[in-house]
Structure 1
Amino acid sequence: MTAHISTLGDLLNTAGTQWRVYDMGRKITKIDKALFNQLENGQVPYPYPLAGHALIAIQFWDNQATADPYVWFLKMPLDEQSKLVLASRDHFANMVLEALGTELTGEQADGKLDNNPYVFTPNANKLAAFNALLKTELKRPASQYYEFTEQFFAGNLTDDAWQSIAVQGLADFAFRLDHGQNNANLTKVWTSLPQEVQQPLSAMLEHVEINTQLAELFFTQCEQAIAENNLNLLINNMRALSGSKAQGLKSQLVEQVLASELGNQPDVLLTLAGRYWLCFEKPEALFKLLDLAVNNEQMPELFPSIFADLVAIPSLRPHVLGILRAENRSDTLSRAIGRLFS
């Protein structure tokens, strides 16, 4: 890169843009500029690694912007300490400079980075959720699908109207729960929603900080799912609850799930590892999760997958590595760990 542009932040600032950064790998999470600057300078590890990469969205616009902002979805490699591989960052920035110079917005920028090796496309659910989030943050109207969805949850449409709900409408509704009666309406109808609505809506709610009433509803539904051995009901409500700030409630749920028959299901263990990782700073919960994963006969690759996922998360890394020295681990877990390092 040039002498004056040493980071992506420098590039965006030099181009005269306003910009924001979000993690797109786990829960869609805003990354403040001070942290992003530390990440770009290799001072701290990336907090939300996924499969050895940082999946980030950079939203930017010029100061005179009247149209929607531009977004780069970037998949940047991380090293073994989950720090950004700076050579890859430099490579991407140089490709941007060669293609666009510092004119990052306007018609000349359209399509110029389509084949860039660091650019990725999030799945449909993540794209819908991110679009809904941006609309609320920029105080812009929701998509054309929102009003129909809002009317459905208000009970103003026919029972079969759910078949016409769009994924983007569900995303807009999830990110506008504090509008009007949306929170109350969702609380009223959640338990009666068909799986075809509840499942994609739960995928949106995991990116939203829900209120206490909804958190308690989802927790109660998880308990019911455990009692009924209902896998789909448990997964939906675990996902819907995962974005809540009620850490105590979530830790209580993790404990109950791991002690249940459904705790043996690969999808349940993957949901826990992928969305409840903060709960595994407690050694007992971490031990139980890894024991269940290593003894899972349905998916032999489950244990190495979950181990690799959790050990890469900076806040969890010391706890996961601590298990390598723990004397009270099971023989099965000890042998599985040994195979990882053989």
Structure 2
Amino acid sequence: MTTQISTLGELLSTAGTQWRVYDIGRRITKIDKQQFAQIEATQTPYPYPLGSHALIAIQFWDNQATVDPYVWFLKFPLDEQSKLIVASRDHFASMVLEALGTELTGEHADGKLDNNPYVFTPNANKLAAFNALLKKELNRPASQYYEYSELYFAGKLPSNAWQSLAIQGLADFAYRLEHGQNNINLQTIWPSLPLEVKQPLSAMLEHVEIDTAFSEQLQRAINTSIEQQQLDTLICNLRAISGSKAQGLVAQSVDTLLGCEYRHEADLLLTLAGRCWEVFIDRERLFKFLDCAANNHQIDGLFASIFADLVAIPQLRPHVLSILRADNRSDNLSRAIGRLFS
């Protein structure tokens, strides 16, 4: 039976599990089974590459199980067209079969893949956000830290209570904005939140499709941050709005940023590339963004890094490559592109 297993999807199904796949490299995003099958068959590139790798989370559970699902966090290399290098996937699958057979759940599975070269540990923010998402999707209670966060954002705790907020509690709150008054409470308190809260909270909100009203507030907050010359706050607002349902508002905010005094700042450029890549499907906006990156002189190699990141994203690749042939580039952009091939 095991010799016929050629994909992770087959492995998981043969083991009798129910399973789901998520990208966990950029924005935590569910990948449907049909798309994942096409990725495994190299019929389609991986949609959200990061650093020439696919960073995925596979959640699976036995139909008879009552415990929390198992999760594999896996990192597979991609080729220059962002397609899966299947030899790595096959190697991982063979290691799983050798260690576990097709019994992927149960006590005997614990710890068996700890030293597997394709297994990785996401950072604390991603882990908290992913855990919050799974709890919500499975209709499980939030963590023990959620209630404190809910009280804090409702303004029912002392002003210095933020020092006791937990990362997991912030993640649970971000994924439960539709619960009770959470969304309204957050909009009310957002302008007065200390940076120490905004930074980790925005790292959770970037994975959430916030509504239009909150997006409009964040768009105004971005403009205010520019006027008040608060770069750190500006980046928090940008991260928080980046996953919004109202992508038109995100695009408008990006246009504003590409014309502001911070347009050459490394932190802003990296945030735009990492969180707002979807708006660069517009070639003119992409052109402006790359021109801003070419004018950054804070970090050596920043332009090359951003170029490599964006050209790997399948939906952006043709647009990024078209810049190489454009004849209306600025001198700085032309020089930056020239250095890519020197």
Normalization by structure 2: what TM-score?
A: 0.98
**1:45 alignment counterpart:** 45
**2:337 alignment counterpart:** 337
SS at match of 1:150: helix
**2:297 alignment counterpart:** 297
**1:86 alignment counterpart:** 86
For 1:45-84, list aligned pairs within 5 A: 45-84=45-84
**2:221 alignment counterpart:** 221
Q: Deviations over 1:190-249 (max 9, x none)?
A: 010111111100000000011111111111100101112210111000000001021111
Counterpart amino acid of 1:34? Q
Q: Does 1:127 align with 2:101?
A: no
* Paired-residue identity, %: 72
Instruction: Quote the Cα distance in structure 2 between the aligned partners of 1:267 and 1:36.
Output: 33
Normalization by structure 1: what TM-score?
A: 0.98
Counterpart amino acid of 1:186? L
Q: Deviations over 1:238-286 (max 9, x none)?
A: 0000010211111111111010001111000111111111111112211
Q: Deviations over 1:47-88 (max 9, x none)?
A: 000000000000000001100100000000000000000000
Post-superposition, which runs of at least 4 consecutive aligned residues in structure 1 deviate over 3 A? none
Instruction: Quote the Cα distance in structure 2 between the aligned partners of 1:29 and 1:305.
Output: 23
Q: Which runs of 5+ in 1 are unaligned?
A: none
**2:195 alignment counterpart:** 195
Counterpart amino acid of 2:4? H
Instruction: Quote the Cα distance in structure 2 between the aligned partners of 1:112 and 1:2.
Output: 18
Counterpart amino acid of 1:4? Q
**1:234 alignment counterpart:** 234
The alignment covers a number of residue pairs equal to 342
Are the aligned partners of 2:22 and 2:29 in contact in 1 as well (CA < 8 Å)?
Answer: yes
Q: Does 1:24 align with 2:37?
A: no
**2:99 alignment counterpart:** 99
Counterpart amino acid of 1:335? R
Instruction: Quote the Cα distance in structure 1 between the aligned partners of 2:6 and 2:296.
Output: 47
What's the offset of the Cα at 1:295? Answer: 1.6
Counterpart amino acid of 1:305? S
SS at match of 1:118: coil
SS at match of 2:216: helix
Instruction: Quote the Cα distance in structure 1 between the aligned partners of 2:261 and 2:339.
Output: 27
Instruction: Quote the Cα distance in structure 2 between the aligned partners of 1:339 and 1:296.
Output: 14
SS at match of 1:264: coil
Are the aligned partners of 2:199 and 2:236 in contact in 1 as well (CA < 8 Å)?
Answer: yes
**2:12 alignment counterpart:** 12
